[in-house]
Each structure stands twice: as structure tokens, then as C-alpha cells.
A and B are shown apart, each in its own frame.
Chain A
Amino acid sequence: MATFGTLSDRLADTFKNLRTRGKLTASDVDGTVREIRRALLDADVALEVVKTFTGAVRERALGDEVNKALNPAQQVVQIVNEELVGILGGQQRRLEFAKNPPTVIMLAGLQGAGKTTLAGKLALHLKGEGHTPILVASDLQRPNAVNQLQVVAEQAGVAVYAPEPGNGVGDPVKVAKDGVAFAKQKQHDVVIVDTAGRLGVDAELMKQAADIRRAVDPDEVLFVIDAMIGQDAVATARAFQEGVDFTGVVLSKLDGDARGGAALSVASITGRPIIFASTGEKLTEFEPFHPDRMASRILDLGDILTLIEQAQGAFDEDEARKVAEKFATDSFTLDDFLQQMQQLKKMGSLKGMLGMLPGARGMRDQLDNFDEREIVRTEAIIQSMTPAERATPRLLNGSRRVRIARGSGMTVTDVNQLVQRFEQASKMMKTVAKGGMPQIPGMGPIPGGAGGRSRKAVKGKGKAGSKSGNPAKRAAENAAVAAGPAPTTAGGSSFGLGKGAAEPSAEDLATIQRMLGKG
């Protein structure tokens, strides 16, 4: 959304002036902390969380612990990122199962948070892991919530216990209790109890939720909260914590463009881990929650890791493993490049994947114009190379390039560009494969991305000043500038995806395009 500057945009702006300076001054820090505060508020982070958060960032930024290898912008990003991950919980938490089945999972939350849909998703997910879940219809309040749960159960292919019609008829506490007994009798190993949505201020209904909890003695109580919630997250999360004392949180509607302040607020205020993310209306759109990825979403570095995993998911499993190994061991060849390029054609969810790139939302229309002929051109060039050349691109001297150009009906420039693209792609992917973060234009590499694994990638890049410390990248940027704004762009294989940009500038579009074969 154009109206909301992202946190990383703002940090980049604030630091434009002082990027060449080595140390943060108190006034630098104050200015930046103000920006962070505002960006967090725009992202709907709860005010009290914002206050503690900015306090901690300020203190650390002024302390001596700052990493001398980083420029000021990087230092702050590192601190902010570490604090975010700290609040969100560093480790991903899994569901706790009962020693003696059935495991009872109770869902609770506000009206419209997405509990019923989540019940179906969770059931489907557990079924996929070999469990035999049953859904229990204890939302007897909202019109036709019982029907909805029945339909969802059918879609997930799981059992449902729904003895009451609902719409105000029936006792939800009794249904929940009987549901667990029924599950035991029928040997279901997991029971998921759907409950009516209720407001934190509704004492009567909160008591009912507590009664349900007492009646079924759940192993997990999951608090489902809409990712778009605002400051009310505080009051609501507290009310549910007091009312039913949930054990974990599920963030729903994360496929929207909310910046995820709710996640930070709830995690910070209640100290309860976020276990799952609900990311769409289909029952399969559900995933374990990764705190580090949420941190980068809030910072708007893009959900690069998820993206890469998805890209790989679309590939053959073995293929993916081989490629990952190749990246790690530097043996990635032009043949592999070609193969991945061809896989790209098969991938259905290009748009979804690109949507996860920071600021790439505006690119959807251009994506519609994705031109597969570019892949054909790439194919032609690579196929005109000898096996030795494909395996060892370093062999490609001038005369070989002329030969290849002639053989494929392209120009030498085309061949040069392809080789350059390949080199960029493999370099970028290598960084990612080793756990580093790709670069942010104008800011250098971002440290501490995935639990601080990326120190290595950062060292030696301390000095800034020029647009990019990486000569290949600088050249590419210049080329992009020369090429002017990109009219269309191509999709993203794992090549284009390593790029973490604060905004999809013409430059970024051109880069992605270039990597995918548009000269």
C-alpha cells in the first residue's frame, strides 16, 4: 500500500545521510527510533509493545555491543531484527500431544477470526500426519456454524461430532464434553473443539469458554486471531488469557497485506508462542509459524525463505536436494540453470511466490505478461554449448561465445547476458543456501536474518557508499538503468527470488527480468 511506508523503507530513508559514517550518535538513534516507533504503529503493533521495543532498540543501539563490521543502517536493522525474533519466540513450537490419546485441542477467539475454517485446516494437516482427528461442533451461537463445520469436515475428509443444530439451540459445554467421550469411544486420537466467537468484554461468554475448557481439559487451547487486528489485540488477548488461558496462538488471514503487528503484540503481551499461520481460504493453506520469517515480514525484507522453499516444493524433491547441494558446493552448472528455467514453466504459483517478495505486490499485472519465449531463447543458447562449457562456464571465452551465438541464432550480447545472469543467480543462491540473506539495494547485506546465521555473509562488506559493494550487481544495476524502466517482467524461479528489495523499482523489475531471460 502506497500509504504505508514500510519499516525498511523508513530505515533506509533515515540512514541515507549517515550511511558512510561509522558510529551511531545519540541523535541518529533518536531519529531512527522515532521512525521505528511510527512504522510499528502503522503496522498495528500494540502501543505498549512499541514502547518497550523502541526502548530496547535505543539502549542497544547506544551501547557498545554494536557490530563494528556493519554500517549504521545495518547495525540498527540487526538490532531490530534480533529484538523482533526475540519477542516472536526464536524457536518454532510444535503441537503438544497427549501421552494418552485423545489429544484435545480447543479453539477460541473473537467473532470472525477464522476458527471454523482453521478447525478444518488443522484436521486436514493432522490427518496428513497419520492422525485420526474428529471435529466437535460447540459453536451453537452463530447461525449455521454447525453446518459450516460439517461441510469443512467433509472437505477435510475427517469425522465430525455435531449432535446439536446450533443457532442458539444446545449446550456447548455438554457437546464439547460428550465429543471427547465420543472420540475416545471411536478411538480418534485428536479432538478439535470449535467454539463460538466471543468478545473479551462479554463476561458471560468468556465464562462459558472457561467452562468448556474445564469440561474437556484440553492439551492445547489455541487462540485464533486475525492478522489485521489493531490495538485491540492487547485487550482481547488479555481477556482470553485470563478467560481460557490459551497455550498457543494461530494467526489467521496472513495471506492479506496486514503487516503483522498483531503477531508481535500477542506474542509479547501473553508470552504464548504462535504455532500456526492460516494463509488462505483453502483448507491446505495453513502452515507452521516461523518467527524469524515473521520478523522479516514486519521488517519487509520479504519472506524470502518461505519463497525459496515454495519454489523448491514445486520441483521434484530429489531435484531440489541436488540443486541445494550444488549451490552449497559451487558445482551449479549452466545445465542446472537451464533445467530450473524449464521447471519455471511448470510452476503454477508464480504470482503467489512473487507476491511474497517485499513490495512486489504491484508487479502482478506485469506477471500476467510473463513471456515464455524468453525461456526458449535461453534454451537455445545453452543447448548450443558443449557439455564441457555447460559444466564449466569459465571456459566460455570470446570465440566460444561467438560460436554459440551463431549456433543458437542469437547475438553475442545475448550470450554474454545469459552468462552474466547465470553468475549472478548462482552467487545469490549460494548465499541463500548457506543461510545468508541476499542484499537489499543501497543497504548492503542484511545481517541476522535467520537467527544470526549470516554473519559470515556480512563480513568484509562494511564499507558502503556506492550503490552496491558487489561489482557484478553494480554493473547489473547500471545496465538496468541504461535499459530504462521495464515494461514487463517475468516470473521468479529460485533465481530471481533471492532478491530482497525494499520496493520493486524499475531496477528491480529489470533485474528479475534479466535473471529470467529478458535481455
Chain B
Amino acid sequence: MFTKPTIDETTWEDLEDELLRADFGPDITEQLIEQLREQVERYRTTDPKDLQRMLRETIEERLAKHDPTLRLTERPSVILVVGVNGVGKTTTIGKFAKFLAGYRRSVVVGAADTFRAAAVEQLATWAERAGATVVRPEQQGQDPAAVAYQTVELAKRENFDVAIVDTAGRLQNKNGLMHELDKIRRVIQKQAPIAEVLLVLDATTGQNGLAQAEAFIEHAGVTGLVVTKLDGSAKGGFVLAVQERTGIPIKLLGQGEGIGDLTGFTPHAFAAQLVG
């Protein structure tokens, strides 16, 4: 589409299709097209290469409106990780613990997913790989809030820099489970302020990602987004709408199953990956 000699109607149609295929959703797609048509008009260009650059810049600009920095100044910095089932919460925690270890931060992880089969073992495996300490539930099915409490307690007592609490995946329309997050938060906050609540979003998700974000923000007080599985064919364009509608910044990106496959969020790189 950007290699044609001039911009014509089919360029716009192709562009629209591309944006929709990247999961930007019909609203943002329409906005972007309108914005770009205006710019193309204003600068009187007919070169698709210009259009491509404008597209990248427009998206980058919109993505850059929020500050992607993680706030990890407190000691311990408590991080709660939430999201729907299977998006990559536990894996992200493993990678992130390793990442922090690289900066010589001591990390304790709390296995507050006491529900899913072998979730505790999975986190423990990651903790071992990352050289982090793990707090396990005393028995299967223990109240997750209790595990979270004990994790933060240990972090304070033994002076860990960072405490990361894993939670069970839950669909955002399950009220009871969403309320459980409220409880976990309250219990943690009795001991220490929560530095970050990270909502993990799977890049393969479509427009339902918006519904996920809204519900988790309401119940878990999300402060940052993590987008995972960006190593696949999915573009994850829906996160632009999520960030804009909720004002919650994207902070981390997951790009594989390896322990090193986690990066910070940079609008420029992300925009480039989104639109080529």
C-alpha cells in the first residue's frame, strides 16, 4: 500500500483494512483515517511514503501522551499483577523478576494464585530461574489475600526491594472474583502502599481488551499495562484505545516465552512495529 506511486482512494481503503486488521477497532481507525486525510491535504502530498511516515508519527504521538515509567522508589515496592486467564501474568512476573535482578534488586514473589492447578509450582519455577524468593500458600486453595499479605510482610521484614504478587486469572465479568481483587489490595495496603498494579493484556485479544481494562481498573486500581505475546502475528492495536480511554500507560512488553523476553515500552518502537 505504501509502495504505490501515488495516494489514491484504494490507498485509503487499504489503510483502513490494515488498521482494522491490527485491532485498532473501528472507532480509532476512523479517527486515524480522518486525521491523516487532513494532513495529506494540508501538506499537499501524494506520496504514500509520506502517508506511512505520518501514520507512524500520529500513532507514536498518541501513544506518547502517557508516561510509561514504572514507579519503584518505595522499599519494598509492591507490585500486584492482574488479568484474565492465560494472558501471561505468571510468565511476566518471572521475566520481570529476572529483569530487576539485573539491576541488583532483591525480589520476592507471592503465589496468590491458589486456584489454578499447578499455578504455585509454575511461579516457583520462574522464581528459581530469576533467583527470586517465593512465598507459597500454606495449603491448596488458601485465601489469596493471605498469601499476598505474607509476601509483603516478608518483604518488609527481610528488606526486599520489590515484592511481586501473582494472582489467578479471572474474566472481568465475574463479579465475585473481581471483588476478590479489591480485598487483596486492601489487605496489602494495610502493610505497605502498592507501587504498581499491572494489568496484563494479551496482544492477540481484540476489542474485548477494552472491557477487560475498564473492569480491572475499577476493581484493582490498575496503574500500568503490560502487553504480552507481541512476538506473534497479532499487533495489539487495541491498546491504543485502552491507553487513551483509560489514561493508564503501557509500561512493559512481553515478546516471548524466554526469561529475557521483556522490554520497557517505547512509543517509537511500538508504533514502528504496529505500522511497519
Within 8 A of B (CB), among A363-382: 364
Select from chain B the residue with minimum beta-carbon distance to A38. Answer: B26
When the two chains form the complex, which single residue of B115, B202, B211 contacts A4, counting CB atoms closer than 8 Å?
Answer: B211
> C-beta contact mask, A23-60 vs B, less than 8 Å → 1, else 0?
00000000000000010011110010000000000000
When the two chains form the complex, which single residue of B174, B208, B229 contacts A258, counting CB atoms closer than 8 Å?
Answer: B208
User: What are 20 residue pairs bridging A and B, where the CB atoms are less than 8 Å apart in the complex?
Assistant: A3-B214, A3-B245, A4-B210, A41-B20, A41-B26, A42-B25, A112-B229, A113-B86, A141-B257, A143-B122, A144-B118, A145-B118, A148-B119, A228-B202, A228-B205, A228-B212, A229-B205, A230-B234, A253-B84, A259-B208
Select from chain A the residue with minimum beta-carbon distance to B229. Answer: A111
Given A1-B210, A257-B211, A281-B116: A110 in contact with B204 (beta carbons within 8 A): yes
In whole angstroms, how far apart are the Cα atoms of A239 and B234 in the complex?
Answer: 13
Interface of A is mostly: loop
In whole angstroms, how far apart are the Cα atoms of A3 and B229 in the complex?
Answer: 26
Structural contact, A232 and B118, CB atoms closer than 8 A: no
Given A113-B86, A144-B122, A148-B122: A361 in contact with B117 (beta carbons within 8 A): no
Within 8 A of A (CB), among B112-150: 115-119, 121-122, 125-126
Tell me if A235 is interfacial: C-beta within 8 Å of chain B. Answer: yes
Residues of B contacting A232 with CB < 8 Å? Answer: 23, 203-204, 206, 232-235
In whole angstroms, how far apart are the Cα atoms of A116 and B208 in the complex?
Answer: 23
15 further contact pairs, Cβ within 8 A, besides A200-B232, A230-B208, A232-B235: A110-B204, A111-B229, A114-B85, A143-B121, A144-B121, A150-B118, A167-B125, A231-B23, A232-B206, A253-B86, A256-B173, A257-B172, A258-B208, A281-B116, A355-B173
Tell me if A151 is interfacial: C-beta within 8 Å of chain B. Answer: yes
Tier of interface size on chain A: 35 or more
Select from chain A the residue with minimum beta-carbon distance to B210. Answer: A3
Instruction: Tell me which of A43, A143, A151 has the highest count of chain B C-beta atoms within 10 A of its own C-beta.
Output: A143
When the two chains form the complex, which single residue of B20, B86, B210, B229 contacts A114, counting CB atoms closer than 8 Å?
Answer: B86
Tell me if A147 is interfacial: C-beta within 8 Å of chain B. Answer: yes
Could you tell me the distance in whole angstroms from the C-beta of A138 to the nearest C-beta in chain B?
Answer: 16
Residues of A contacting B207 with CB < 8 Å? Answer: 4, 41-44, 230
In whole angstroms, how far apart are the Cα atoms of A262 and B22 in the complex?
Answer: 15
Given A144-B118, A256-B172: A112 in contact with B206 (beta carbons within 8 A): no
When the two chains form the complex, which single residue of B26, B86, B171 contacts A111, counting CB atoms closer than 8 Å?
Answer: B86
Tell me if B88 is interfacial: C-beta within 8 Å of chain A. Answer: yes
Structural contact, B171 and A255, CB atoms closer than 8 A: yes
